[in-house]
Structure 1
Amino acid sequence: MFGYVKPEKSELKVREMNEFRAFYCGVCTSLHKSRYLAKLFLSYDAVFFALILTSIRGKILEYKKRFCGVELRNISYYESDEISLAASNFLLLLKYKLLDDVRDERNFVKALLLKFFKNIPGSSATLESRLQALIVELGETERKREPTIDKPAEIFGSIVALFFENLNELSSEQRTVLIHLARHVGKWIYVLDAFDDLKKDVSKGNYNPLAIQFGFTHGMDIQEFTNKIRPKVREYLFKILDEVVLAYNLLELKTYKGILDNIVYLGLFEETERVLSGRKTCKRIYTA
């Protein structure tokens, strides 16, 4: 998956670092109980969902302990309905992403993996149907080689927003704000990932909307092209992040706000600059 939505760790307090790790390990533990193989794909993005849902509901979680086979030591983790829901939504997204990949690539390994993702706990037929329709729409848009990044980014934003639509305990205003935030976080992820994969996609002949939109042609120097479009992509990404921040400022957050502030005000912007500058990023496994 992606894994760009994460805090700027150097700016977290020690307590906040431990709490973030407990959320990450909590999502991983939930996946361990339901679909073990999904742990291999776990990213920071699922943790953001668990954090923001926990904060909106005003819950303060208590540490639990278990032995981690990856770190080979006892770890502290959180367990809650919000974390289970984040894990369930992550599984759904992974399931239909694998399904779309199998449809496109005829990938035997991914086809085998799909067998482990039936009857995902906590999902509904309506949510699965809408998610599948959006992923199919995104796949068709990419296969048609949409010439600008706006349309596929909007569709991916709608996919992310889908997981925030059924929080019926929220007021209509707060739900609207949260959906707006989620949609723009999704757009930001899609555009940032397109820039991150630009060189790889060009070398393999894969679809990349930024390459088409800004006129990359065979024979061009990819580094010169990347340097040329970087300011325009940065401007586009920062406009999306402006919408994220505006929506975030309207949310009524009650707990773990320090971590969320760090992610929204620092982490997203730092990750944008890391990717734009070409610095290596860690997309998956959380380490202290």
Structure 2
Amino acid sequence: MFGYVMVNKEKLSKEENDTYLGFYCGLCDCLHQTYGRSGQVALNFDMTFLAILLSGLYESEVTFREYRCPFHPTKKRNLFHNEMIEYASDMTILLTYLKCEDNWEDERKKSSYIYQKALKKKFLKVQEKYPDKVKKIKEVLERTHQLEENKCEDIDALAGLSGVMLGEVLAYHKDEWYQLLYEMGDYLGRFIYIMDAYEDVEKDISKNCFNPFIDIYQKSGFDKRVKNMLELMIAHSSEAFERLPVLEYANVLRNILYSGVWARYEMVRKKREDSKNGRSV
């Protein structure tokens, strides 16, 4: 679910990379300060993107301080902070907790059960702040669970539910930008679901778990067919983004939408191709 909406560092300038790290490290620090070490573990690229997007759109002023990270101690970094990073921190806890709950119900993953318990009180705090969002996302996950239990192979229906979930997350306020943010999140959520299913198909086959791509995985043109789906989803999401009046951080956001999101696909595709050709991976 997480880790697909990432930046392509090779195509960023030094200034742009520093900006990205400022948000990433700022979100890490915000999770730690607000939700402790267990909350900090939930840090991910996807919610960093959310923080940058909303900061750029709403022109939310950023404060920063220098910090020497224990994981990267050789150089001081700037930690950014603003209300959008706080919101992204809340959404990180919300989505991580519900994903752990879903993993436990679907696959009985003990690690998800343990982490879910660790996040329970933190999640309840988020639920108090955003009861409507939590309610809608829970309904989406329940519907997704039902479709997967019935082994539904309608990728549009399944990905569409993921779209509803991320649409709710990106749509910060019910204001003039609500519809475009929701639309952007909708298609980005669909992209993530399809990408996640594409990456996990072999693992799911081996574990006898549901995956909507199982029946077409061995068919000719599978990779191309999935890439066409992904291209369509990210094109619609990017189109909605381009209609938003985002000026600050726009280059970083475009880097993610037009380049970064494809990093995982290329990695999975190459690994699968090498495996089929008998090359070590």
TM-score range, shorter chain: 0.7 to 0.9
2:63–2:82 contact (8 Å) kept in structure 1: no
Q: 1 or 2, which has the higher helix percentage?
A: 2
| Aligned partner of 2:138 among 132, 142, 155 | 132
Paired letter, 1:276: R
Paired letter, 1:264: L
Mean Cα displacement is larger for which, 52-61 or 76-85?
52-61
The CA distance in 1 between the partners of 2:239 and 2:112, in whole Å, is: 39
2:98–2:138 contact (8 Å) kept in structure 1: yes
Query: In structure 2, what is the equivalent of residue 104 of structure 1?
Result: 106
Query: In structure 1, what is the equivalent of residue 276 of structure 2?
Result: none
Structure 1 runs (4+) greater than 4 angstroms displaced: none
2:42–2:93 contact (8 Å) kept in structure 1: no
Structure 2 residue 87 is the aligned partner of structure 1 residue 94: no
Query: In structure 2, what is the equivalent of residue 5 of structure 1?
Result: 5
Paired letter, 2:49: F
Structure 2 residue 43 is the aligned partner of structure 1 residue 42: yes
2:159–2:193 contact (8 Å) kept in structure 1: yes
1:194–1:210 contact (8 Å) kept in structure 2: yes
5+ residue gaps, structure 1, are 217-224, 281-288
**Deviation, structure 1 residue 195:** 0.9
Root-mean-square deviation (CA, aligned residues, Å) is: 2.2
Taking structure 2 as the reference length, what is the TM-score of the superposition?
0.87
Mean Cα displacement is larger for which, 36-45 or 107-116?
107-116
Query: In structure 1, what is the equivalent of residue 194 of structure 2?
Result: 191
Taking structure 1 as the reference length, what is the TM-score of the superposition?
0.85
**Deviation, structure 1 residue 181:** 0.8
1:225-275 CA-to-partner distances (Å, cap 9, x unmatched) read: 276311111111111122112111111103111101211222224544343
1:4–1:189 contact (8 Å) kept in structure 2: yes
5+ residue gaps, structure 2, are 274-281
Query: In structure 2, what is the equivalent of residue 120 of structure 1?
Result: 125
The CA distance in 1 between the partners of 2:178 and 2:118, in whole Å, is: 32
Query: In structure 1, what is the equivalent of residue 53 of structure 2?
Result: 52
Alignment length, in residue pairs?
A: 267
SS at match of 1:78: strand
The CA distance in 2 between the partners of 1:203 and 1:51, in whole Å, is: 38
2:204–2:211 contact (8 Å) kept in structure 1: yes
Question: Identity of counterpart residues, as a percentage?
Answer: 24
Query: In structure 1, what is the equivalent of residue 183 of structure 2?
Result: 180
The CA distance in 1 between the partners of 2:57 and 2:107, in whole Å, is: 40
**Deviation, structure 1 residue 59:** 3.1
